[in-house]
């Protein structure tokens, strides 16, 4: 198409579609129609520009897209901080003495398995509800308003955990905290995947895992610093520090642009073009209009398959397969041995290490995972999502088998330290491969029109598997429960092996694929193992 006479997406007379594309007429708002014939040439230019762009060129061109994506994902720090905080508080002497019961000279004060289970599950129940609500809110009002509303609620519910003087009040406070956390986990990967150009999509969704590490490292550092205190401030100060994040994030996100993909879905094409320009699209190889045209084209392709945007639509047609993939990739993280690693400090404590050394190992574990996630940025530009996930899972299977074997030996100090080091390796692997790729995958697999709801369903699937499995994990580790400690690694070794087999047949490769190409591969029912090799022509819309 001539660059001097491009069709106006908004005002040109609309021409008839060819028979092959007649089903893709789309109402985009204000009674206007845009046909594939009008947008095809511009969309092809926009998509070709993204495919030809390198990582560093994308960073330089879309620096504001990078900034706003990183800013929105920082909301995850709060969920990561409190999740790590509550699990590791179970090992803090002052907290156990205040809320626990005395079980003997060896173990001292311990939070009983039922209360330990209740406290860790209360925020998960809140998250499940928050996720479902946010899926509707984000679809209707956008990601920005959803994030701001959740931050306001977060500021208020922190009071309940800070002033809690009993386990029931603390449980209620944790449930209330879960409501805004559910919003953050839906908004962050959805927003990151939609504002990022193709070369940066994996990198910016991986940042979510970095935010998890920041929150966990912050929690481990705070608890390590306060471990020697024996008064109530040993656990109240960590709760109070939750107020550090919401207000600054609210101030920053209030200036963030809405996702241009969401604006296209809402029929606000001119606003979408303005946002693309603001994110850096005016310096790209393609014009903002070309970039928006790719979004309109992809939206039309998806509408031909599923016109609705309800939760029920996530289970219709090819979206059923996409929902299944996001849900099993997200939920089956709990079958990989991650739960054992997440309770690292508690594991070290019940295994017999002194609490000071246990907290030091917990802090070191988080720091190592942070370094691993930074390394995953480099790895993700070279390796595919599928190969990273399968490779990381195979590594876990071997390490878990080693932990289980060592646990069957006489538990001397060197044996305990060896199990601790292996547990740290699982955490490193999660940060280097499987953890970051999980967030990348759920952002890429879901269709654009159903993204918030599909991501939400995947997170709820994670929570629904987490609840029973974390209960089992608590009982396996707790001295008042089954007291399996390191032998529990054999259980997770078995589940990780089953998961590897499932992923081999069901996990597609999305690296370097545009959302249009991903749509078409799903519409063609391509087997997961062939996603990488199938070529999709740039003019194809089926």
> Residue 128: which of 175, 85, 84, 193 has the closest Cα?
175
> Residue 289: which of 306, 272, 303, 302 has the closest Cα?
272
Reduced to 3 states (helix: H, G, I; strand: E, B; else coil), residue 471 is helix
First CA to last CA across the chain, in angstroms? 22
Query: Domains, the chain, ranges and CATH?
Result: 57-264+298-530 (1.20.1250.20)
- Distance, CA of 412 to CA of 433 (rounded, Å): 32
- Distance, CA of 306 to CA of 35 (rounded, Å): 18
H/E stretch holding 100 reads: none
- Distance, CA of 144 to CA of 103 (rounded, Å): 49
Residues 389/442, Cβ–Cβ less than 8 Å: no
> Residue 418: which of 409, 159, 442, 443 has the closest Cα?
409
How confident is the model at residue 400, as a pLDDT? 92
Residues 6+ apart with CB under 8 A from 3: none
Q: Hunting for tokens 């449930």 — which residue is that?
A: 175
- Written as tens digits, the pLDDT of the chain (542 aa) is 333 333 333 333 333 333 333 333 343 433 344 455 666 777 777 778 888 888 888 888 888 999 999 999 999 988 888 877 876 777 777 787 787 777 766 667 777 777 877 887 888 899 999 999 999 999 999 999 999 999 999 999 999 888 888 888 888 998 999 999 999 999 999 999 899 888 888 888 888 888 888 887 788 778 778 877 778 888 888 888 888 888 899 999 999 999 999 999 888 989 999 999 999 877 767 788 888 888 888 888 888 777 778 899 999 888 999 999 999 999 888 898 887 776 666 666 665 666 666 666 666 777 787 888 888 888 888 888 999 999 999 999 999 999 888 888 887 778 877 887 888 888 889 889 998 899 999 989 988 889 999 999 999 999 888 888 877 877 777 666 677 777 888 999 999 999 999 999 999 999 989 888 998 999 999 999 999 888 888 767 66
- Distance, CA of 235 to CA of 229 (rounded, Å): 9
The residues pairing with 101 across neighbouring beta strands, listed in sequence order, are 110
> Residue 116: which of 97, 102, 98, 96 has the closest Cα?
96
> Residue 97: which of 244, 231, 273 has the closest Cα?
231
The packing angle between helices 344-351 and 413-429, to 10°, is 170
Global pTM reads 0.81
Residue 190 CA to its chain's centroid (Å): 9
How confident is the model at residue 20, as a pLDDT? 34
> Residue 285: which of 48, 29, 35 has the closest Cα?
48
How confident is the model at residue 346, as a pLDDT? 62
> Using alpha carbons only, what angle is made at residue 67 by residues 61 and 70, rounded to the nearest 5 degrees?
130
Give DSSP secondary structure letters for 482-530: T--GGGGHHHHHHHHHHHHHHHHHH----TT--HHHHHHHHHTT--GGG
How confident is the model at residue 30, as a pLDDT? 35
CB atoms within 10 A of CB 254: 11
Reduced to 3 states (helix: H, G, I; strand: E, B; else coil), residue 27 is strand
């Amino acid at each position: 198409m001539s660059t001097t006479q491009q069709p106006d997406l908004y005002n040109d007379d609309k021409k008839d579609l060819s028979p092959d594309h007649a089903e893709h007429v789309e109402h985009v708002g204000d009674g206007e129609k845009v046909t594939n014939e009008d947008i095809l040439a511009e969309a092809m230019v926009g998509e070709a520009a993204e495919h030809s762009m390198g990582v560093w060129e994308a960073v330089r061109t879309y620096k504001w897209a990078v900034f706003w994506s990183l800013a929105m994902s920082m909301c995850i720090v709060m969920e990561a901080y409190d999740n790590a905080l509550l699990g590791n508080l179970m090992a803090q002497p002052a907290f156990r003495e205040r809320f626990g019961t005395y079980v003997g000279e060896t173990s001292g004060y311990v939070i009983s398995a039922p209360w330990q289970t209740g406290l860790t599950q209360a925020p998960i129940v809140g998250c499940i509800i928050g996720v479902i609500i946010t899926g509707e809110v984000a679809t209707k009002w956008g990601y920005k308003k959803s994030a701001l509303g959740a931050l306001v609620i977060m500021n208020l519910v922190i009071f309940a955990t800070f002033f809690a003087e009993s386990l029931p009040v603390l449980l209620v406070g944790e449930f209330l905290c879960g409501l805004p956390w559910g919003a953050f986990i839906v908004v962050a990967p959805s927003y990151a995947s939609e504002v990022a150009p193709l070369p940066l999509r994996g990198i910016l969704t991986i940042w979510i895992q970095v935010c998890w590490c920041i929150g966990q490292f912050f929690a481990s550092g705070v608890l390590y610093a306060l471990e020697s205190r024996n008064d109530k401030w040993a656990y109240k100060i960590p709760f109070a520090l939750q107020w550090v994040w919401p207000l600054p994030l609210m101030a920053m996100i209030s200036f963030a642009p809405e996702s241009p993909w969401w604006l296209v879905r809402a029929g606000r094409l001119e606003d979408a073009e303005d946002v693309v320009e603001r994110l850096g699209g005016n310096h790209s190889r393609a014009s903002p209009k070309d970039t928006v045209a790719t979004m309109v084209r992809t939206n039309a392709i998806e509408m031909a398959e599923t016109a609705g945007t309800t939760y029920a639509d996530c289970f219709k047609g090819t979206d059923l397969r996409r929902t299944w993939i996001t849900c099993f990739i997200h939920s089956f993280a709990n079958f990989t041995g991650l739960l054992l690693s997440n309770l690292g400090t508690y594991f070290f404590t019940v295994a017999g290490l002194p609490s000071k050394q246990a907290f030091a190992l917990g802090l070191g574990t988080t720091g190592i995972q942070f370094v691993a996630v930074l390394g995953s940025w480099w790895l993700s530009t070279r390796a595919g999502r599928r190969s990273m996930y399968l490779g990381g899972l195979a590594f876990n299977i071997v390490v878990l088998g080693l932990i289980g074997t060592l646990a069957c030996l006489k538990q001397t100090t060197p044996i305990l330290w060896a199990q601790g080091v292996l547990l740290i390796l699982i955490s490193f692997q999660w940060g280097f491969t499987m953890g970051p790729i999980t967030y990348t995958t759920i952002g890429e697999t879901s269709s654009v029109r159903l993204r918030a709801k599909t991501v939400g369903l995947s997170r709820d699937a994670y929570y629904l598997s987490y609840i029973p499995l974390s209960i089992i994990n608590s009982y396996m580790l707790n001295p008042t429960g089954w007291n399996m400690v390191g032998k529990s690694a054999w259980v997770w070794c078995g589940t990780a092996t089953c998961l590897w087999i499932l992923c081999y047949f069901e996990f597609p490769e999305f690296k370097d694929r545009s959302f249009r190409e991903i749509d078409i591969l799903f519409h063609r029912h391509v087997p997961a193992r062939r996603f990488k090799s199938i070529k999709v022509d740039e003019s194809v819309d089926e």
